[in-house]
Amino acid sequence: MPPATSAPPPDGNAAGPQFLGTRIRGLRKRRGMTLAELAQNSELTAGYISQLERNLAYPSIPALFNIARSLGVTIQWFFASETNTAPEDQGYVVRRQNRMSVHYENGIVDQLLTPQPTRQLEFLHSRFPPGTYSQLSYSHEGEEAGYLLAGSFELWVGERHFQLNEGDSFSFSSQEPHRYGNPGEVDALVLWVITPPTF
């Protein structure tokens, strides 16, 4: 089980809207699952999930992936925004200020760049603060590709290890176990494309 990481204080870019725990708890209850059942199905502890549901911690990426899979959704279901999309933009355009986001432990943030979750392509903008890593490998259906906008990035796909610099790109089968992180001293900014949107 990944260690629970305290939610960042409400300052700077590290803070995020406190919606994630509420969405996890609400969906779990709609599914008629107890904390213990969700913990067993997602290979986490009930105490850890309780912390997440009370917004006392942010999850790791693999932890939220396991929770989503156990609840029958993708991680995309947990993205939310505090702003409203203009009617003329709906289904076609995502304005920067309207991006839906999800916050993970250690200040990692994903923002959804695609306007509709029902299409066959998922487009993400990810920010990895210095020294942050997805510690556990995970896999899922589909394929993904990425482009490093800024900073440096490490990527593990199966037994392969890659060190990437600004301007480098990559792609791989999502069915191969993968993890990644930022070994640098500045934020790593990554654009991801995943198809189908199983993340």
CATH number for the domain including 176? 2.60.120.10
Residue 133 and residue 73 share a domain? no
Q: How many residues does this entry show for the chain?
A: 199
Q: How many domains does the chain have?
A: 2
Give the pLDDT of residue 113: 93
141-150 burial, b at 16+ Cβ within 10 Å, e below that, comes to ebebebbbbe
Query: What's the pLDDT score for residue 8?
Result: 39
Asked whether residue 21 is assigned to any structural domain, the reply reads yes
**Amino acid letter for position 37:** E
187 to 52, 79, 95, 133, 163: CA distances (angstroms): 25, 21, 22, 12, 15
Last residue of a domain, one of 61, 78, 95: 78
Give the residue among 21, 8, 28 at the shortest CA–CA distance from 109: 8
129 lies in the same domain as 179 = yes
**Phi, psi dihedral angles at 107 (to 5 degrees):** 85, 5
Arithmetic mean of pLDDT over the chain? 87
As a whole number of Å, the CA-based R_g of the chain is 16
Which residues span the domain enclosing 54? 5-78
pLDDT of residue 84: 76
CA angle 127, 139, 23 (to 5 degrees): 60
Within a domain: residue 143?
yes
C-alpha neighbours within 13 Å on the C-beta side of residue 21: 17
Instruction: Supply the pTM of this predicted model.
Output: 0.82
Low-confidence ranges of the chain (pLDDT < 50): 1-17
pLDDT at 18: 66
Report whether 167 contacts 131 (CB < 8 A): no
| pLDDT for the residue numbered 117 | 66
- Three-class SS state of 122: strand
pLDDT for 11: 33
The predicted pLDDT at position 85 comes to: 81
Residue with tokens 């490093």: 148
CATH number (domain holding residue 51): 1.10.260.40
Strands (E), the chain: 5-6, 57-58, 100-103, 109-112, 122-128, 143-150, 152-157, 160-165, 169-173, 178-181, 188-195
Cβ atoms of 10 and 52 closer than 8 Å: no
- 83 belongs to a structural domain: no
